[in-house]
Amino acid sequence: MTTPRRPRVFMDIAVDGSPVGRVIFQLFADIVPKTSENFRALCTGERGKSLTSGQTLYYKNSIFHRVIPEFMIQGGDFTKKNGTGGESIYGAPFPDEDFSLPVDAAGLLVMANRGPHTNSSQFFITLAPAEHLNGKHVVFGKVVRGMEIVKAMEEIQTDAKDNPLKKVEVVGCGELEFKGQPGTTAAAAAAAATTSRAAPSKRERSPSRSRSRSRSRSRSGSRSGDSSGSEVESDEEERARRERKRRRKEEKREAKRRRKEEKKLAKATARAGSADGSNAVDPPVMETEEEYDLRLEREEQERREAARLEAQKRQREISKMGKIDERTGIRYKGRGQMRFNDPEKYRSRP
């Protein structure tokens, strides 16, 4: 049985309102499941409002309030947005889960705390190895895409308290999912492929045989005489039309039968896996890591292209409205920037 894939989440970052890109994290849910689930749920916002504080448990619109070059950038305070707040999906701060992963590289996702067992929602991304934090902070993920965005955030100027002078905001966040057919296992996929390659049923007839029969009939009809030629042609067209209709029905019937068999097989394998853990089947067959990374890169390019086209469209709309002289307040419109006089303002007096 293969190891389940680790979840991936993303954050879209903007600096002073200008989008700079997307950072994608992989969460170590197999090692620290409680810490990973807290971060994942705060990225999706699926828990809604907190029963304790009334705040929405969501990283969107939160900021990175602390930047220390060659060390880390810190965020996750969605309640006060200054490093003194934050809240976990479990209500109260939850304990440190596991210190087995060292803080030994850049791009690690680490929980921030105020001491032992005080984890909430604040986190930081390492910019360099920090072994002095081993045994004090829980590592629960890493950056898998967008490290150049993290490095750009590192370059932002800060004040004496390490607060960035520009607003570094999370304008969007959520979870990324592998694409695949839910509930389809490797055994089910192989069985479905075997079923699709099986010989046709008794009720099915080969289209080539049908065409050969129709051709033989047309030849026999042509030999009956020239006087019945038009009738033979009309009969041939009618038979061809009926044959096409019959084939469509058979194709629909076969597709429906295959869907039923796939559902039955998927249910049977699921029951077998739940009844006996030793006979558990492999996880769903989905896209590979390479296909997943390629798809993410393609979607990121499409998103940037859409943002660029939207900016161009907005610029064209602004240019259509005309240019206003700030000194005189006169609006100039058109390619030659002709003077535009408001008819209401400059209406001729009787």
Among 55, 113, 163, 181, which one carries the catalytic annotation? 113
Among 174, 96, 82, 91, which residue's Cα sits nearest to residue 140?
Answer: 96
For residue 113, indicate whether it is catalytic. Answer: yes
Among 71, 94, 99, 340, which one carries the catalytic annotation? 71
Q: How many CB atoms are located within 10 Å of the residue 149 CB? A: 19
For residue 71, indicate whether it is catalytic. Answer: yes
Among 42, 57, 133, 296, which one carries the catalytic annotation? 133
> What would the two tokens of residue 43 be?
């990225």
For residue 55, indicate whether it is catalytic. Answer: no
> What would the two tokens of residue 179 be?
């694409």
Residues 6+ apart with CB under 8 A from 70: 127, 128, 154
Among 26, 38, 74, 122, which one carries the catalytic annotation? 74
Residues 6+ apart with CB under 8 A from 116: 95, 96
CB 76 within 8 A of CB 122: yes
Among 108, 137, 145, 176, which one carries the catalytic annotation? 137
Place of tokens 């991936």: 8
For residue 66, indicate whether it is catalytic. Answer: yes
For residue 124, indicate whether it is catalytic. Answer: yes
Residue 256 CA to residue 248 CA, distance in Å, equals: 12
Residue 139 CA to residue 72 CA, distance in Å, equals: 13
Place of tokens 């905001």: 169
CB 47 within 8 A of CB 33: no
Among 169, 174, 173, which residue's Cα sits nearest to residue 61?
Answer: 169
Among 124, 127, 140, 145, which one carries the catalytic annotation? 124
Q: Which residue numbers are catalytic?
A: 66, 71, 74, 113, 124, 133, 137
